[in-house]
Amino acid sequence: MNVVIYARYSSHNQTEQSIEGQLSVCHDFANKNNYTIINEYIDRATTGTNDNREQFQKMIEDSSKKQFQGVLVYQLDRFARNRYDSSHYKHKLKQNGVRVFSAKENISEDASGILMESVLEGMAEYYSVELSQKVKRGMQINATKCYYNGGSVPLGLKLVTVEEVNGPMGKKICKKQFAIDEATAPIVQKIFEMYSTGSTMADIIRYLNERQLKTSRGNEFNKNSLRKMLLNKKYIGIYSYDNKEVKGGIPSIIEEDLFYKVREKMLKNKEAPQRARAKTNYLLTTKLFCGNCKSMMVGYSGTSKTGKLHCYYGCKGTWQHKCNKKGVQKEYIEDFVVTHAKKILTDEKINEIANIIIEVAKKEKNSIRLKELQKQLRANEKQKVNLFDSLKVCDMNDVRKSIFEEISKMEQQKKLLEEQIAVEKASSYNVTLSQIKFFLRNLANGNSDDIKNRQMLINVLVYKVVIYEKSITIVFTTQDKYYEERIPTISEMESSFVGNLFPPINKKPINYERFFIFFIKSLAYYFILC
């Protein structure tokens, strides 16, 4: 089999050696499996969370030439870190007869392998959220004392280090608080005075840039950065966290009367920032397919005659005039899938799933990447200690400011590393039988109306859903059977909106002797932080 290698590194913590290490492991894997490597696609200093990867896109394009049958990566997180993108590009490769292989995650292609991947991905998300909650609790404690909790520091303010004795064995823990920056606070005061006395934003921007004054990030002023400054309550001493405000939590730079005068004037001039539009969460994205043309079905919305918003899933082929499949109502199909997914998790099935995963886990070794992440975390802690030591002996304001900025970066990096370690521990099969059962029972007994529970059920248990003209087929990761049910038409559903009713459901189980499950893996590593 002809294969190509795809490798990338994404952060300043990774180097050229990281790329070479990935290539070495991939070459060893190819040799052991008698694969012939015909090309290498390498993206340096890029991220897997977007499509801005030149070599990756070239690899996807080249797959149409039918010159190779597989893409080999060090680990699947090198391919993509986003569930939608991963499924989208694997679907493209599959159409060209190309599969994705992982050199370090040797999971079988049969039903048990797919089931194991799905459950472990769900557990990775679950325990990542658990870690996130612990981080949030720490940040909430910081907020009670108005300590700095991350993010950019506004112009006119700076961070100072304070010590408190609340660590283990009476260890001193360094915290940071806001203080007035005497060098830049007058600039902030000038901006507010100019706007309150009739200067336009364009006038103020021109004034600042002509004098080569910079924002807190060292950039030239523009309309967006100026608007954020004029609406920032930190300038009147208000500390905010998690929609709670503490008056006097920060030293004030601007008088309240002046601040609210400016704010009122901005609202009158209709220059206040627009509220971000709420996004509809389509839970079956990348898992829902049209039975007529096999295309993926995606979410869209429309407004009825009464002005009410209604959400549907529609076939991509229909928009390309290649299919005549009608759309299906979002709540109907998602409720149907979630209901049947919960029925899968009987006590007997939970025990069966848990035993399968534990059996496979016994064959796996410790993750090399986990050890590397733990090494990076130890290096992070050591570097922060050195930076704090430097602060104690440094009396130059400019240098101290640079050190504070570097410490802030290290704190953000630490949070990311801790999340990655939690995810890696779950995906490296370092789990117990009781943990797996606990996780699955939480899914089974969770609130069906809770969006997180619904999403988790679908991610873990549902392989794909196919909508035909008059029926629905659900393919689960746990068993070789599907369900059939009549689908109401959009006209039927629209007529039912008046009473919030749907047409009657007639469930008819159908048994298959055998059902071939195609290999697919959805990367569901969600890094949920404030």
Specify the residue for token string 């797996």. Answer: 436
Q: State residue 431's pLDDT score.
A: 63
Q: State residue 123's pLDDT score.
A: 65
3-state secondary structure at position 469: coil
> 78 CB contacts (<8 Å, ≥6 apart)?
6, 7, 8, 22, 48
Query: What does the alpha-carbon distance between residue 425 and residue 418 come to, in Å, rounded to a whole number?
Result: 11
Is 205 in contact with 219 (CB distance < 8 Å)? no
In angstroms, what CA-CA distances link 191 with 8, 201, 257?
A: 45, 9, 15
3-state DSSP of 272-319? CCCCCCCCCCCCCCCCEEECCCCCEEEEEEEECCCCCEEEEEEEHHHH
**What letter represents residue 433's amino acid?**
L
Q: What is the pLDDT of residues 27-58, one digit of tens each?
A: 999 998 899 999 999 987 654 445 568 899 99
Angle 296-92-337 (CA atoms, 0-180°, nearest 5)? 30
Please give the mean pLDDT across all residues of the chain.
76
Q: Is the pLDDT of residue 289 over 50?
A: yes
The residue with greater pLDDT, 361 or 444, is 444
The residue with greater pLDDT, 502 or 431, is 431
Q: Which CATH class is domain 2-106?
A: alpha beta
Q: Which among 107, 123, 55, 125 has a CA at the least distance from the CA of 520? A: 107
Instruction: Compute the average pLDDT of residues 269-281.
Output: 52
Instruction: Compute the average pLDDT of residues 93-117.
Output: 76
Q: State residue 450's pLDDT score.
A: 86
Q: What is the pLDDT of residues 395-418, one digit of tens each?
A: 677 767 777 778 888 888 888 888
Query: What does the alpha-carbon distance between residue 464 and residue 87 come to, in Å, rounded to a whole number?
Result: 11
3-state secondary structure at position 10: coil
**What letter represents residue 141's amino acid?**
I
Q: Is the pLDDT of residue 70 over 90?
A: yes
Is 436 in contact with 354 (CB distance < 8 Å)? yes
Q: What is the pLDDT of residues 181-238, one digit of tens each?
A: 998 999 999 999 999 888 888 889 988 988 889 998 888 999 888 989 999 999 999 9
Q: State residue 360's pLDDT score.
A: 64
Query: What does the alpha-carbon distance between residue 368 and residue 105 come to, in Å, rounded to a whole number?
Result: 11
Q: Is the pLDDT of residue 2 over 90?
A: yes
The residue with greater pLDDT, 266 or 87, is 266
> In this structure, how many other beta carbons lie within 10 angstroms of the beta carbon of residue 168?
6
DSSP state of 234: G
3-state secondary structure at position 173: strand
Considering the chain, what percentage of its residues have pLDDT values greater than 90?
A: 18
The residue with greater pLDDT, 296 or 132, is 296
How remote is the C-alpha of 28 from its chain's centroid?
A: 32
Q: State residue 277's pLDDT score.
A: 42
Q: Is the pLDDT of residue 114 over 70?
A: no
Q: Is the pLDDT of residue 490 over 60?
A: no
Q: Is the pLDDT of residue 165 over 80?
A: no
Q: What is the pLDDT of residues 321-344, one digit of tens each?
A: 889 888 889 999 999 999 888 888
Q: Which among 526, 524, 525, 518 has a CA at the least distance from the CA of 463? A: 518
Q: What share of the chain is helix, strand, coil (3-state, %, to 5)?
A: 45, 15, 35
Q: What is the pLDDT of residues 247-259, one digit of tens each?
A: 888 999 999 999 9
Q: State residue 276's pLDDT score.
A: 37
Query: What does the alpha-carbon distance between residue 304 and residue 308 come to, in Å, rounded to a whole number?
Result: 5
> 481 CB contacts (<8 Å, ≥6 apart)?
509, 510, 511, 512, 515
Q: Is the pLDDT of residue 284 over 60?
A: yes
3-state secondary structure at position 384: helix
Please give the full DSSP string across 387-415, using - where no structure is assigned: HHHHHHH---HHHHHHHHHHHHHHHHHHH
The residue with greater pLDDT, 270 or 9, is 9
Q: State residue 155's pLDDT score.
A: 93
The β-bridge relationship of strands 157-165 and 172-180 is antiparallel
> 286 CB contacts (<8 Å, ≥6 apart)?
83, 84, 87, 88, 296, 522
3-state secondary structure at position 56: helix
Instruction: Compute the average pLDDT of residues 424-438.
Output: 68
Is 361 in contact with 429 (CB distance < 8 Å)? yes
Q: State residue 489's pLDDT score.
A: 44
What confidence category does residue 361 fall into, taking pLDDT thresholds of 50, 70 and 90? low
152-268 maps to which CATH number? 3.90.1750.20
Query: What does the alpha-carbon distance between residue 150 and residue 137 come to, in Å, rounded to a whole number?
Result: 14
Please give the full DSSP string across 90-104, using - where no structure is assigned: HHHHHHTT-EEEESS
Q: State residue 485's pLDDT score.
A: 54
Please give the full DSSP string across 473-515, using - where no structure is assigned: EEEESS-SEEEE-PPPPHHHHHHHTTTT--PPP--EEEE-S--
Instruction: Compute the average pLDDT of residues 88-104.
Output: 86
Q: Is the pLDDT of residue 473 over 60?
A: yes
